[in-house]
Structure 1
Amino acid sequence: MDYSAAKERYASFGVDTEEALKKLSATPISLHCWQGDDVGGFESPDSSLGGGLAVTGNYPGKARSIDELRLDLEKVLSLIPGNHRLNLHAIYGDFSRGKVDRDAISIEQFQGWIDWCSANNLGLDFNPSCFGHEKAEDGLTLSSPDAGIRDFWIAHCQASRKIGAEMGKQLGSPCVTNVWIPDGMKDLPADRLGPRERLAASLDKVFEESLDPAHNLDAVESKLFGIGSESYVVGSHEFYMGYATTRQKVLCLDAGHFHPTESVADKISSALLYVPELLLHVSRGVRWDSDHVVILDDPTKAIFEELVRCDALSRTHIGLDFFDASINRIAAWAIGTRSAQKGLLMALLQPMSKIIEAEATGNYTERLALLEISRTLPWGSVWEEFCSRNQTPGEGEWFAEVKAYEDTVLAKRS
């Protein structure tokens, strides 16, 4: 079905496709840089992950330098309709002039990224990297019983906030600086309260300096468990929900950081009652592993449906968080980002006024029928129109470009 026919079909259900396309175009996705090099970063050539993180696979073509990573990102951006953002971890700075320890990083290591994002019309988001470091070897950072360890990571997070604020100031768009730490224990702890008291105190020091929210927004992120922290994670959802509420911080909900039977979508409306804004890390959890490439599955669609139904797009920052080294990394980025955008478009195209009217009048039969009918409406034609308007390859075209890029660029990397 062509777009004009799809537009008429949606209009018969009271849906304005042009309005949906306008909102989709105005909603950027923050692309995570770490998909391109398997969370390696550029601190040192022999860097290791740690912190409960693991990347599986060895597909050829991994980015080995900042220049290669930027080249790959430019290719990905050409495959994704709309204007977007880049999400950087602190380990992705430019350390070509000499290694700088994490408590001493500054805007100097990231000015090149700001300039590149400015040239490519991208906003920037940022993350302190509290893993893969000798001072995180025991799995404890901001909650460590060692005051010296805590102070080191506090200084790193403070420096990261200042970098984020400068990114936001120069690019004219607030940088979301998100704090995630790996702290936890492999086996059952005797003391659950103490580490959480230390974490809260450390975070208060991290956020002590007031920064202009027009430049920097502070976010905190929970996790259910990780490798080496199977029994206890200090920064649980309950901890960060309480912390973000009492300190009025942005709450990050990572779709892969909860139990597989939990609905992240169901948490959105509750969190919006108590925190100013949300950060979503759209990911796909598969059993214990939280970082699979996003696909257009039911949990992903449910997240975007809830954002639209809560009219929360203006209070939500949407980013991706996955890393897969078993497949072409460019394709992983493109599949994940386009799937997230499709989920949002499908939500925007639901005949919500009719669905809400049916619910308000107690007609739950009609509500269910409309929800099912909306699944078969021609949203794919609207998506193809969006791609066309943004001069981006459609569904039958983008993968051929990935293969060509692999043959001409990725295959030459040893």
Structure 2
Amino acid sequence: MQTVSKKEMQLVQGGNVTTPQGFFAGGLHCGIRKTKLDLGWLYSVVPATTAGVYTTNVFQAAPLLVTQESISNNNKIQAILVNSGVANACTGEQGLTDAYEMRRVFAEEMNISELDAAIASTGLIGVPLPIDKIKAGISRIHIDENTDASKFEQAILTTDTCVKNAAVEFEVGGKKVTIGGAAKGSGMIHPNMATMLSFVTTDAAVKEQDLADALKDITNQSFNMITVDGDTSTNDMVLVMANGKANNETLTKESHDWPVFVNGLKKVCQILAKKIARDGEGATKLIEVQVNGAATDVAARAISKAIISSNLVKAAIYGADPNWGRIVTAIGYSGQQVNPNNVKVAIGSITVVDNGLPLSFDEEKAKDYLSNETINIYVDLKQGNTTATGWGCDLSYDYVKINASYRT
């Protein structure tokens, strides 16, 4: 892995969850899925200060309940175990028993306290967890310098077509600090949050509550600003682990370098969020919607999310149809106070609406632009100084094909 100058925040090419000091990760096939890797683990050499955010779906899966219990013990986690293929959601008392057993056996194998272990599951809902296969897989976990983080990234996937990772580095008080991340998510993606899992690591030392507050705020600017299909899963989880191996002075909200750390964490989360949106089931394009000139953060975010959530907008972009009427319609039903006579809309560099009225534009040029893999839509409400950006994807025929036969 190579990086450029560390004077400012830099993206680490090929970086992942093990780029920060003191983290190991790997994955294996334990037999939940036919051939794909289906059991991944992430391990810190010391207990790490940990914060999490979780799905708002009332059918919260058993692994989330167990992981929240672990973190609430002392806000520290040393290892995380993730299985794919079965979500262990809507599985009743047996599901909770299996989740606790999964955590117990994993902690024993890692030689750590049970409450220093976290678990996560993703896959089919309502299917009993194949706990015997998972326990057999746990017994094969081996952590050393040759552990392969790419196998962790593969083991957590379901309908994803690619792994999703990111890492940045920067200086804090003269110490090099690194933040890395891995995520999964392709379908059933909608804030808050998605059928997604995201695991972020850092070797920075960070105060517990301040890390938790930063993660919640950044989630609202990243994972809660993406959508694929409008569905919110039972298993969504984002965890960030800070193990302090960079030996920096513990960061707090009052620290001089706090904004630097927060920007780094935000960068990793937004990269992962955009990769999830781009890998939406059947997607061919990433859609980025920037709303400017809003009166409040709430308005800016709600309008951006309304546009990226619109099936009509998504279908039009799939077909390279510059149908601006669908964009202004989404703005109008967002539930936010908007003066239609002020609104400006641009598709890429092409302004299609200004002061609420359509402008004459080159349709062929707009169609050519909409044939790109990344589509930017800009909205200016001219009501304030607040901005927000959301990410989504187009809606293709393949989305229906994938989800019409997900179980079979």
Structure with bigger helix share is 1
Structure with bigger strand share is 2
TM-score normalised by structure 2 residue count:
0.28
TM-score normalised by structure 1 residue count:
0.28
Q: Greater RCO between the two (CA within 8 Å, min separation 6)?
A: 1
